[in-house]
Amino acid sequence: MEPDRPLPQPITPESKPYWDGMKEGKLMLPKCQDCGQVHFYPRVFCPHCHSSNLTWVEGSGKGTLYSFQIMYRPFNRAVKIPTPYVLAMVQLEEGPRMLANMINIEPDPQAIKCDMPVEMVFVQITDDVTMPAFQPAV
Ligand SMILES: [Zn+2]
């Protein structure tokens, strides 16, 4: 089956633990061993203190909805996700914010509230790629 959205290409050494975690249903987040802060997206240095002394920790996948957008038209023609769908900026418990689709909710501004608790779900797109989404926390 053809994927309904563009896939990450290529998966870089800096992001491989993140994508490997996705396949196992785990949210792996980079953590700085010098300042102790967790960040997202994965990169070669800490955005807080510029240290390259990084490790990986498993995140809870829990957070709160920081902001959202209801997409009535895909922002890119390669995205085949049926509209309308919800794009969410989530404040993770561990500190960083993360952008992902929000599923299992009506794409209606009356149903979606900022600060609502959300949790991560893992959406397998292909054998190699699993992507995160969020849904209202149960
Ligand atoms: Zn740091």
pLDDT, tens digit (0-9, with 9 covering 90-100), for 43-57: 999 999 999 999 999
Q: Mark the ranges of the chain whose per-residue pLDDT is less than 70.
A: 1
Give me the pLDDT at residue 75, please: 80
Residue 91, C-beta contacts closer than 8 angstroms, at least 6 positions apart:
63, 64, 65, 66, 97
How many angstroms separate the alpha carbon of residue 107 from the centre of ligand 1? 37
Q: pTM for the complete prediction?
A: 0.93
How many angstroms separate the alpha carbon of residue 37 from the centre of ligand 1? 6
How many angstroms separate the alpha carbon of residue 53 from the centre of ligand 1? 8
Going by their DSSP bridges, the two strands 97-102 and 130-136 should be labelled as parallel
Percent of the chain residues topping a pLDDT of 70: 99
Residues 15 and 28: beta-carbon distance below 8 Å: no
How many angstroms separate the alpha carbon of residue 30 from the centre of ligand 1? 10
How many angstroms separate the alpha carbon of residue 132 from the centre of ligand 1? 25
How many angstroms separate the alpha carbon of residue 94 from the centre of ligand 1? 14
Structural domain spans, the chain: 16-136
How many angstroms separate the alpha carbon of residue 54 from the centre of ligand 1? 8
